[in-house]
């Protein structure tokens, strides 16, 4: 389990102007120097990203922070499971801080340890051979630890296929947690037909499945999703093609299966960034991922046409909780000798979760 004590943002930070915040954040960061490293996930707002030492996806950032051994404090501007991953991979002298502990992840919250243990027992008891679990990096430390104990591995959106191939090469059946869309898209592109996949609903008895469905399935998918990526629909793809002839549809594999099948390219956040960067001058892209990243890509590449696949905009509201006010507060607290909003994974969970991550790195 991860332990953390929520400290509330002091009111005197709420009324600071943008200029005051920028000046105070910059001053505190400079004063802390190499003692602190600030990480910002790609989905963070620009007001946060500009102060980051590193920008990237959750695993990349965690590994970069661990490589900065001189940094006593890792300030992770992301969501809770990302800070947990950083704490799993950190050095013994490092402390991980999440500026707002209310910055959670709806997908990670869709699978808790008790639910997964119930699913595991039910599936294992109805499977003649071995079941190998795989958990997406977008999961809690407790789930990563469980997967590590059961001989499974973590995956990212970019290496999900390699990890799932590894899992299915070791067992009769794979259990993929917690994003059913990434699991389905990955398994389908491996050649596993849709009728050999079953979705486990943790809120129904026996996952809402008949025993024969469990036995027949090659892959059991957890009924979970990203609230941002699930919003993209086939009609959004159709509309983009109609309104912008020749546009390329690029989506994240957390999107629905039918959307991914209609897209021109499907890949991780890093893949999407690279796709836009390598696009020809004047090329057009409709991108199915979080709106802050899409807008940043459009700003950074004005010679390309880049829009969100859903023109209503798809904001990750939990990422947005990390504000300049929170960043300023945690940095100034460190200067005053106080650590607020630390995220700490207990040693037992940390050891098994680390093993699951190590297996992934070996595979990929």
- Third-level CATH fold of 2-104+318-344: Rossmann fold (3.40.50)
Digit-coded pLDDT (tens) for 217-248: 999 999 999 998 999 999 999 999 999 999 99
8 Å CB contact between 351 and 146? no
pLDDT value, residue 313: 64
pLDDT value, residue 5: 60
70 confidence band (pLDDT: 50, 70, 90)? very high
Domain residue spans of the chain = 2-104+318-344, 108-226, 229-308
**Which residues of the chain form beta strands (DSSP E)?**
2-3, 36-41, 54-56, 73-77, 95-97, 131-136, 153-155, 173-177, 197-200, 219-222, 248-251, 265-266, 284-288, 305-308, 344-345
Residue 1 scores a pLDDT above 60: no
The rounded distance, in Å, linking the Cα atoms of 55 and 167 is 30
Q: What is the mean pLDDT of residues 305-311?
A: 93
What residues does 56 pair with on adjacent strands?
41
pLDDT value, residue 352: 98
The rounded distance, in Å, linking the Cα atoms of 2 and 172 is 32
Is 2-104+318-344's fold the same as 108-226's? yes
Q: Across all residues in the chain, what is the average pLDDT? A: 94
- Third-level CATH fold of 108-226: Rossmann fold (3.40.50)
**Side by side, which strands form the sheet with 173-177?**
153-155, 131-136, 173-177, 219-222, 197-200
pLDDT value, residue 336: 96
Digit-coded pLDDT (tens) for 280-294: 999 999 999 999 899
pLDDT value, residue 314: 67
Q: What is the mean pLDDT of residues 22-38?
A: 97
Class level of CATH domain 229-308: alpha beta
Digit-coded pLDDT (tens) for 149-179: 999 999 999 999 999 999 999 999 999 999 9
Please state whether the predicted TM-score (pTM) of the whole model is above 0.85.
yes
Q: Report residue 208 as tokens.
A: 């809402």
Q: What is the mean pLDDT of residues 347-358?
A: 96
C-alpha closest to that of 172 among 122, 212, 219, 125: 219
Digit-coded pLDDT (tens) for 190-212: 999 999 999 999 999 999 999 99
């Amino acid at each position: 389990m991860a332990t953390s004590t929520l400290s509330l943002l002091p009111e005197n930070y709420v009324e600071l102007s943008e200029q005051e915040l920028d000046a105070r954040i910059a001053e505190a960061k400079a004063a802390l120097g190499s003692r602190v490293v600030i990480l910002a996930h790609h989905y963070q707002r620009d007001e946060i990203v500009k102060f980051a030492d590193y920008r990237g996806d959750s695993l990349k950032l965690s590994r970069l922070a661990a490589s900065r051994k001189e940094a006593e404090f890792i300030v992770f501007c992301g969501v809770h499971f990302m800070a947990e991953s950083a704490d799993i991979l950190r050095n013994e002298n490092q402390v991980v801080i999440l500026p707002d502990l209310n910055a959670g992840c709806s997908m990670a919250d869709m699978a808790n340890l008790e639910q997964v243990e119930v699913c595991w027992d039910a599936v294992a008891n109805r499977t003649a051979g071995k079941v190998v679990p795989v958990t997406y990096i977008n999961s809690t430390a407790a789930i990563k630890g469980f997967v590590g104990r059961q001989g499974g591995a973590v995956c990212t959106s970019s290496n999900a296929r390699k990890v799932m191939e590894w899992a299915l090469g070791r067992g009769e059946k794979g259990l993929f947690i917690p994003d059913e869309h990434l699991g389905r898209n990955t398994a389908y592109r491996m050649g596993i037909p849709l009728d050999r996949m079953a979705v486990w609903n943790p809120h129904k008895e026996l996952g809402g499945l008949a025993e024969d469905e469990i036995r027949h399935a090659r892959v059991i998918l957890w009924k979970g999703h990203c609230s941002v990526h699930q919003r993209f629909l086939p009609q959004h793809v159709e509309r983009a093609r109609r309104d912008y002839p020749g546009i390329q549809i690029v989506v994240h594999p957390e999107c629905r299966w039918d959307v991914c099948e209609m897209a021109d390219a499907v890949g991780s956040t890093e893949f999407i960034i690279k796709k836009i960067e390598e696009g020809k001058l004047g090329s057009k892209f409709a991108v199915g991922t979080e709106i802050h990243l899409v807008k940043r890509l459009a700003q950074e590449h004005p010679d390309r046409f880049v829009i969100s696949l859903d023109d209503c905009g798809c904001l990750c509201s939990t990422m947005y909780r990390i504000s300049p006010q929170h960043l300023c507060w945690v940095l100034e607290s460190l200067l005053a000798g106080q650590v607020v909003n630390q995220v700490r994974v207990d040693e037992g969970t940390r050891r098994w979760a680390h093993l699951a991550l190590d297996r992934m790195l070996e595979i990929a």
